[in-house]
Every structure is written in structure tokens, then in C-alpha cells.
Structure 1
Amino acid sequence: MLISLRSKQYHCSFISLILVILVVSLCLYLAAWQLQRAENKQQRLDYIEAMKNKGEFSWAKLNYLPATFNKTGLQLKTKGKFNTHKYWLLDNRTLNGRPGYDVITIFYPSNSSQALLVNFGWIAQGESRNNLPTIQLPNHEIAINVQLKQGDLAGFYLNGAQLSVQGWPKLIQFIDIKMQTKQSTQQLVDFIAYAIDKNPYAQPHYQNVVMPPEKHHAYALQWLLIGIAALGIFIFAVRSQNNNQTKSSDFNTQIPTGEVNDK
């Protein structure tokens, strides 16, 4: 295949040209995708920051919000009691490289007919996964300070992930409020709370986003540079090949082709 570049013509194979177009196109697509993810993360962080600026909500004030209002990022400070017999251990949670579980409890705000799921944080896994750790929850009224999240709570999980134990506590692979409402036979609100302050039950470690926008920007730049490098290598290879062919052709034309006289 013949390519014209700066009034010069270069030969290259059709297959190599298609391959480099595909590679560069894929790199540009991935760079644009990372930039879009960075923008989405930034919008989410801005929204959460705006919700935080609204100050702490009481349970009564929270109930005055419209049902369609996204409560993600709001901070709640209220009093209530635990269901000390029913709680979940969210599997495959790691903290500082150590395996463990997140402790998810049922919390009854004072003077409320509904219950709230509260993720109090991480606890370490025992020596054997067959023996789940037990949590001693208080049976008296306590005050909690939490941040709310509403919407997609399950996150990433494997298809077919199911409960692996019967009875309580229950080991779960993802958060599903409808499923947990059915399991606990309690009326749960459609959002979850994450502990902010230190507590004696678990270690809070909730992050609004796992990967900040800056990392997505870095990945976008990485893919862009890979695409540019692939294109540069292709151009260099084509030019080198054509230069070698030109030199070989020039050398062949300098060899004398006259007659040889044998006497």
C-alpha cells in the first residue's frame, strides 16, 4: 500500500496500517472514557460537598425531604437503638491489605416506625472463614453520626453471589435493601448510612469515591501517550523500511552491467 507524506511516498502493508489505526483508535477511546469518568466523579464529589454544606440533619428533618430527593452526602445525627440479634457481615472487604468484613446493622431512630441500615465499618477476618466474628451491640439508646448514601449500593459483585450462611449474623456479598428487608422482616428505608466517627464496633473507612478524578486524568494521559507512541513507532518503521529499500535500489544501480571480455 502506498502512502503520501510531505510530498514523499512510502510503502507499507495494508494489514499493518489497519492494525495501527485500530490500536490508536482504541487508545483515544479509552482516554476519552477516562476523562468522562473523571468528570462524573468530580460531579459526584461536588454534589456530596454541597450536601455536606447543608449541615447535620436530624431524623425528623430528614423525613421532611421529598421522597425523590437523593440523600447521598447528607449527614445525619440522631439517637436510637440497635437490633442486637440481626446484623450482616459484608464479605471481601480489605483495609490496609488485611481481609475482613463490614458490619451492617439495623438501627431504629427514636420515635420512628422505620429502621435504617448502618455500616459501622470494618472488622478483621478470623483465622478461619468458617467461623464468623461476633459483634456485641449495645441494647441501650445511643447517638450516631453518619453519612447517607442512596442509589446503587450493590457495587461490583460476581453473578450468582448468594448468601453463604443461615441464621444470624448473615454473610452477604453485596448490599440489597429489598433483600435485607425481606430477611430481617423489618421496614427499612431505601438508603444506607455509613459511620463517620470512631466506634467500638468496627473501624469506619467509607470513601465517597474509590478512585479520585485525578487518577482518571492520569489514566487518560497514559492511554493518549500509548496511542501517540504506537503511531510514532509505525511511522518510524515505515520510513526506515522505505529508506532501506531506497539504499538497496541505489546500490544495485551502481553495479556495472557491461560485457566481460575473456582473452
Structure 2
Amino acid sequence: MSGWRRPAWWAVLLTVAGALLFVRLGVWQLHRADEKEALLRRYAAAGSAPLRDFAEVAVAPPADAFPRVRVRGQFLPGRAYLLDNPRHDRRGGMEVYAPLRVRDGQPLLLVDLGFLPGNGTDRTPDLPPLPVGAQDLHGLYLAPPGSGFEMGGNSLARQAHWPKTTIYLDLAELSADLGQPLYPRVLALDADPASIYVREHALDVSAMPPARHRAYAFQWFSFAVAAVAIFLILHRRRRTKKTD
């Protein structure tokens, strides 16, 4: 006699559909992990890529690419923003951004000058004066750091003195604060040993790195195996004990 009970059609259908769905989700997570790794490789290679003219990518930068550009312009005197989101130094500090005028009548370019380490206190670090006159700059043309919900709304409008401090970098808020449009990306300057700023730019994938995608893929594949195993266990014929 067979050791299996004949399953109902709906039980077979649910098991197959569930297993296929879990496998599909697992494959999708593996695909996302490969995409993230390819993105990180492109970012790592961008730091040594040949320089391009900023005008080529200013308005419509290529998606999922990090062009290294050169640009000439003048900083707006006395205008700077401090991103209070320390990443490089345990003593705290600020990422410093300054708007650059490339040409009259065109949007401003927000320049990431780098990270200015703190001194272990809550006092805002002393900001050196911005360079005066035309500047030749080069670096990666990157998407701005992600913004989020800021309690109390836009804090820039309530600050009367420069530099202004913010916990999120929202280009729309900065544009309204400056009264001029901004280009859609930020120029992250190349490292300079002579600069007091720490310029160690990294692509932030901490929320979902490739390893986490692979962990989720393993989880989905495990669900597929579990669905089949449960189906087999429930439809296995139990042996009855013989009695004298």
C-alpha cells in the first residue's frame, strides 16, 4: 500500500504557487544584491575616472552613474550649510556645503567641501573662510544625501546667521533659502592633502547592503523548502499498529 494520501487539488495548487512565489522572491533578492555590488564597483572606479566637463552632465546626469567632473565658478560669499550628521569622527563634526555660481542666470551648484571634525564639545566647529574669486574644482557629481522628516519643519528659514545648520540636506529647502534654483546633484570634491576637510566619500548602502539582500534570498528559499516539506508531512499516510 502506498505511504502517501492523495492530496486535494487545492492543496497542490497552494503549495506549488507558494513555493514558486518564494523562489521568485529569492531570485529577485539575489538580483538586487548583484545590482548593488555592480553599483559599488562603479562608484569605486569613478574616483579615478577621467574628468568630464560639468556642462555635459549638469542638468541630466546619467542614472546610476557617478561622473567625475571639472567646473569653474565662484562661491557665494558667506553662504555655507553645516550638515550635523557626523560620519567620520567620533568626536562629532559637520559636513560642510557651499553654493557655487557657475554662470550668471544658471542654477547654483552645491559643493560638498568635506567633513570638518569637531573638538569633542557641542560647539560648532570654526569654519574657515570660503575661497574668493574664480575657483577650478573637480570631484564626483553625486546625488545628495537622503533627506528625512525634520521635527518642527524647515529650520533654515528660522536661522538668521550663517553658516546655517541642518540635520537633513534637502535641495528644495536650500533652494528656497537661497532664493535660487540648484542643480539636481552635489559636487563632492576630490581628496586634497592640503585641505583641513576630510574627504572620504562613500556610497551609502548601509540600509540594504548586498549581504542583506542575500540573507533575505536565503530566507525566501527556506520558505519554499518549508512549504514543500509541510505539504509532504501532511499527506504522508500514518502507519496503523497491528493488534493481535
- TM-score normalized by structure 1? 0.63
Q: What is the deviation of 1:30?
A: 4.4
Check whether the contact 1:101–1:122 (CA below 8 A) recurs between aligned residues: yes
Residue equivalent to 2:94: 101
Structure with the bigger RCO (C-alpha within 8 Å, sep 6+) is 2
Given the alignment of the two structures, is residue 63 of structure 1 paired with residue 55 of structure 2, yes or no? yes
- TM-score normalized by structure 2? 0.66
Task: State how 1:42-191 maps to structure 2 within 5 Å.
Answer: 44=39, 55-57=50-52, 61-63=53-55, 67-70=59-62, 72-95=65-88, 99-109=92-102, 112-113=103-104, 114=106, 115-125=108-118, 127=120, 129=122, 131-141=123-133, 142-150=135-143, 153=144, 155=146, 157-158=148-149, 162-164=153-155, 166-167=159-160, 168-191=162-185
Higher strand share goes to which structure? 1
Between the aligned residues of both structures, percent identity stands at 17
5+ residue gaps in structure 1? Answer: 1-5, 257-263
Q: Which has the larger radius of gyration?
A: 1
Q: Distance in 1 between matches of 2:90 and 2:16?
A: 41
User: Which of these residues, 215, 218, 238, is aligned with residue 222 of structure 1?
Assistant: 218
Q: Distance in 2 between matches of 1:117 and 1:209?
A: 19
Check whether the contact 2:30–2:217 (CA below 8 A) recurs between aligned residues: no
User: Which of these residues, 165, 174, 191, is aligned with residue 197 of structure 1?
Assistant: 191
What CA deviation, in whole Å up to 9, does each residue of 1:171-221 have, x standing for no partner? 223333232122123453332111221362421232245269753663354
5+ residue gaps in structure 2? Answer: none
Aligned residue-pair number = 232
Quote the RMSD (CA, aligned, Å).
4.4
Q: Which amino acid aligns with 2:146?
A: G
SS class of match (2:79): strand
